[in-house]
Amino acid sequence: MTDATRETIVQLLSHMRDGKEVRDYLNRFARLDQSRFAVVKVGGAVIRDDIDGLASALAFLQTVGLSPIVVHGGGPQLDTALSDAGIATDRVDGLRVTPEKAIPVIRQALSAANIAIVDAIRACGGQAASVPTGVFMAECLDESVYGRVGEPSGVSLGLVEAAVRGGEIPVLACLGETGDGKLVNINADHAVAALVKALQPYKVIFLTETGGLLDDKGEIISTLNLASDRDRLMSADWITGGMRVKIDQIQALLDDLPLTSSVSITSPGALTQELFTHAGAGTLVRRGERLLTIARRADLDWDRLESLITESFGRPPVAGYRDTVAFERLFVTENYRAAALLTRLDDVAYLDKFAVLEEARGEGLARAVWQALVDHAPQLYWRSKTANPVNSFYFQECDGAAKTGQWTVFWRGETDLGRVPALVQRVAALPETLGRAV
């Protein structure tokens, strides 16, 4: 694929109905160090039933300059190979008990699945590297119970990073080696967890045939914010044991990742839409943040609030800000990534600061903070500099606005319209609360 072709495809995509969205996601993903873009886990059933869909989705990502890292299982393939070889396998605690004589069969079957994926990607014009072993270091779990089943004890990223540097999609099988050189079978979800911990990717993607987590009506749950949705979901009467395990696994993955990372469960055919649109196609799971309402000055972490303000406006609050501001309430996410500081101008509620970290935009946090604010203060005034990009949001949310010098003053919920002009003058004349650019 030449750069020109790539550029043409990106251009075409950008002009689709959701073109701006697509372009923004492309830019966001392309800015990442590509070995940290995405870890994609593919189950054995997808390899068996939809390998062409899988390969074309992966090759497409490569075409637009992105480099996913693929980890695959091979449950059905192993079942067939082992039964053909006359080796019976049992499961204990969901893990496949692996007698030593099964290892050559497993190695053979997983390598075949691995090469099939690589070949399929190449057939779609993509470049891929087969990495069946050499990544996962492992320890035998308990050889007397499980046989040759290993838990990852470390990850060597050399082969993975070399493939990415060379413009190839690394395709990893879940085989590990113990310190004394024994080959062991690793559960694919455990392998993914170890790799994710080592790479700290922006996305972790599970490609399944169902294409997402299903609710009680069998419909795909579009988003899951663990901080706010987990308890309700886990205690629902329809949730299955398998789904609980899956959610616990995803929670554990996200707990090891930055808050900006997310997990998507989707299908090969829906992957592009999932990645490049806001609405996605599949289930997006985030760790999420709880929203706090702080009513007492002393409960507020002023240092964190000031650094949030400084980072999101590029300017720090003026000296003495925290001591003079007429504090009323702070609506803030638990990690201080988005906040609204409500103050009081005599008998009027005044929004003094609404700050959201750049990296946290698009997570729905600003919306949640805003909602808590206006629920608490239905009658509200605020102001912003005329060039502030947030103004289009403010214009949607306000009942009215007036431009006065460098300020636009907004209000909503005002019942006594007669006092608006005086309040607008008053708000516009408030002293500057941000200092010099940092």
Least separation in angstroms between residue 264's CB and ligand ARG is 6
Least separation in angstroms between residue 260's CB and ligand ARG is 10
Which CB atom, from 222 or from 228, has the smaller least distance to ligand ARG?
222
- Could you say whether residue 222 binds ligand ARG (CB under 6 A)? yes
- Could you say whether residue 283 binds ligand ARG (CB under 6 A)? yes
Stretch that binds ligand ARG, among 102-110, 126-134, 278-286, 324-332 (CB under 6 A): 278-286
- Could you say whether residue 257 binds ligand ARG (CB under 6 A)? no
Least separation in angstroms between residue 276's CB and ligand ARG is 6
Least separation in angstroms between residue 5's CB and ligand ARG is 24
Contacts of 152 (CB under 8 A, 6+ apart): 136, 137, 138, 176, 186, 190, 191, 193, 194
Q: By CB under 6 A, name the one of 280, 339, 370, 380 that touches ligand ARG.
A: 280
Residue 356 · residue 366 · CB < 8 Å: yes
Which CB atom, from 259 or from 423, has the smaller least distance to ligand ARG?
259
- Could you say whether residue 288 binds ligand ARG (CB under 6 A)? no
Stretch that binds ligand ARG, among 99-107, 182-190, 234-242, 280-288 (CB under 6 A): 280-288
Stretch that binds ligand ARG, among 47-55, 279-287, 341-349, 350-358 (CB under 6 A): 279-287
Which CB atom, from 147 or from 282, has the smaller least distance to ligand ARG?
282
Rounded distance between C-alpha atoms, residue 228 and residue 248, angstroms: 15
Least separation in angstroms between residue 390's CB and ligand ARG is 21
Least separation in angstroms between residue 25's CB and ligand ARG is 5
- Could you say whether residue 25 binds ligand ARG (CB under 6 A)? yes
Q: By CB under 6 A, name the one of 274, 289, 352, 363 that touches ligand ARG.
A: 274
Least separation in angstroms between residue 275's CB and ligand ARG is 5
Which CB atom, from 15 or from 278, has the smaller least distance to ligand ARG?
278
| Interface residue list for ligand ARG (CB under 6 A) | 25, 222-223, 262, 264, 274-275, 277-278, 280, 282-284
